[in-house]
Structure 1
Amino acid sequence: MTRLHIDTLPHAHATPGKASPELVLLHGWGMHGQVWGEFATRLSELATVHVIDLPGHGHSGHTDPFDLASMAEAVQHALPQPAIWMGWSLGGMVAQYVALHHPDSVLGLGLIASSPCFTTREDWPNAMKPQVLSQFTDELASDAEATLHRFLALQAMGSPSARTQVVQLKQALSSRPLAHQDTLTGGLHILRDADLRHRLHQITCPVELIYGERDALVPAATARWLAETLPHARLHLLAQSAHAPFLTHPEVCLDAARQLILQSDSQ
């Protein structure tokens, strides 16, 4: 069993005798739970928050084989159920997988700049070119940290506050050990190969979609497609945001979490 590092932030306003909402936060490729920073603390005003280091990232052990299914199953088994799941980028794909394969575990889904298919296909033009990920894969072998920093810059590209975001992301990244080399390569392979589009309509829980119009990795067209495909989705498409809306627009992300909690209470 993969050893996962989980930071649990107690619900700051829990009502005695009443079960607290449970909320799971999943980070993106190459990062770890510290990337959520102040946003996770603010979420704890709404729920008990479980901040995960995905397998092979931060303080969590590597899983072998390293693929989307193994990663999602490791996280699902380690967490309280049911819960609201919020995932950023690759973390959002993990959350989608869990919602599809363990629907009773997911009361609501928050997808932040994530995709069911990160690279282009013949019928999916609005995504990253596979060559972009191949280049990152080639560069990992020579200098993993520099490659991660380049990826962070790509995530912030297009945002009016890009320089500030890169500084924030780099500071968060340096606060825990770099991801395992096999994890980084495996994560890029997941981003290149995984495709959940054809089953996504089966996700029937409430979904909040938080995306940036200026995102260089997950285009706005993907966000619109998700809003049309998911049966119970609400889209927040932010004109001044790139790939990290929880940094640039934390209030929108907090409102999305609040809505998911309210909807889960009414179920």
Structure 2
Amino acid sequence: MARSLILLPGWGLGNAPLAPLAEALEGHFQVRIEALPAFEQADIEHCLDLLDDRLPRGAWLGGWSLGGMLATLLAARRGADCPGLLTLASNARFTVGEEWPTAMPAATFAVFREAYELNPAATLKRFAMLCSQGGADFRGLARRLLEQAEGDDSLVGLDLLAALDTRQALQRFAGPQLHLFATDDALVPVAAAAAIQRLQPAAEVRRVEGASHALVVEQVNEVAAVIARFMAART
């Protein structure tokens, strides 16, 4: 049976940022991008229930940013029914919390959430710029992300992002794990890479040089090559 990988997108921009990665992995694996459900409340277990019911078992789970955090929690829930996990620019906590300083300050996140509540369109544009900051052509990349955006950019999604904590899940999941971080990410500090390596020494943690949070778009061939090698060696 062909190896199967399910990818979950991040907040606000929909499936489009993951499409180039799925295309680059064609011929290696069966890749499916699964849109996030339209979450009605920031109830983590309910969100996982929705994903668990929708996604087939026996597939690798992966995701970008918020999608990677949800993939991690679902992988830990499924255990042996998930052959492997990969995350892309995805922290164990998106905001700073107890014993996890390598994340966005809670006050910064609160300001962003308030701005989105007041002016969603302008804030989503700013979000695309933040995703692209650090990239070689960050303005062009931001325009591309916005033009293709078709995601669920809800306040509930932001509240969910702030509430998630995957530290225990990363430690509990016994299957292979690959975590990729961008060295010039404006949303997820690259220092989180070392923190996750300490948290789960068995995982493979890599840094993609000169990449922004949108590494899945701007360095898609490099990212795809790392994923393909990692999965091929473990399936």
Q: TM-score, normalised by structure 2?
A: 0.91
User: How many angstroms does 1:88 deviate by?
Assistant: 0.4
The C-alpha deviation readout for 1:75-103, integer Å capped at 9, x for no partner, is 22212211111210000000110111111
Residue equivalent to 1:161: 137
Higher RCO structure, 1 or 2 (CA under 8 Å, sep 6+): 2
1:24 alignment partner, SS class: strand
Partner of 1:120: 96
Cα displacement string for residues 209-251 of structure 1 (whole angstroms, at most 9, x for unaligned residues): 1111111211111111112322432222122012121122222
Q: State the 1:118 CA deviation.
A: 1.0
Q: Is contact 1:116–1:195 with CA below 8 Å preserved after alignment?
A: yes
For residues 15-64 of structure 1, the C-alpha deviation after alignment (integer angstroms, 9 at most, x for no partner) is: xxxx11111011101121122232212222211111111012xxxxxx43
Which residues of 2 match residues 20-169 of structure 1 at below 5 A? Answer: 20-56=2-38, 63-169=39-145
In structure 2, the residue corresponding to 1:53 is in which secondary structure? coil
Cα separation, 1, equivalents of 2:47 and 2:223: 24
Deviations 1:111-132 (A, max 9, x none): 1000111111242222101122
SS at match of 2:5: strand
Aligned to 2:152: 179
Indicate the residue corresponding to 1:232 in structure 2. 202
Q: Secondary structure at the match of 2:60?
A: strand
Structure 1 residue 200: Cα displacement: 2.3
Counterpart secondary structure, 1:141: helix
- Runs of 5+ consecutive residues of structure 2 not aligned to the other structure: none
Number of residue equivalences: 235
| CA spacing shift, 1:65–1:122, aligned 2, 3 Å | closer
1:248-263 mapped onto 2 (5 Å cutoff):
248-263=218-233
- Asked whether 1:208 is paired with 2:178, we answer yes
Task: Work out the percentage of aligned pairs sharing the same amino acid.
Answer: 27
Q: CA deviation at 1:206?
A: 1.0
CA distance in 2, matches of 1:101, 1:259: 25
Match of 1:114, SS state, is coil
Contact 1:32 1:52 (8 Å CA) reproduced: no
Bigger Cα displacement from structure 2, 107-116 vs 135-144: 135-144
Q: Kindly state the Cα deviation for residue 159 of structure 1 after the two structures are TM-superposed.
A: 2.1
**8 A contact 1:21–1:47 mirrored in 2:** yes
Question: Distance between the aligned counterparts of 1:236 and 1:39, measured in 2?
Answer: 17
* 1:247 matched residue in structure 2: 217
For structure 1, list consecutive stretches of 5 or more residues without a partner in the other structure.
Answer: 1-18, 57-62
**What is the SS of the residue equivalent to 1:169?**
helix
The residue aligned with 2:192 is 222
Q: How far apart, CA to CA, are the structure 2 residues paired with 1:91 and 1:150?
A: 20
The amino acid across from 1:188 in the alignment is L
For the aligned residue pairs, the C-alpha RMSD in angstroms reads 1.9
The residue number in structure 2 matching 1:189 is 159
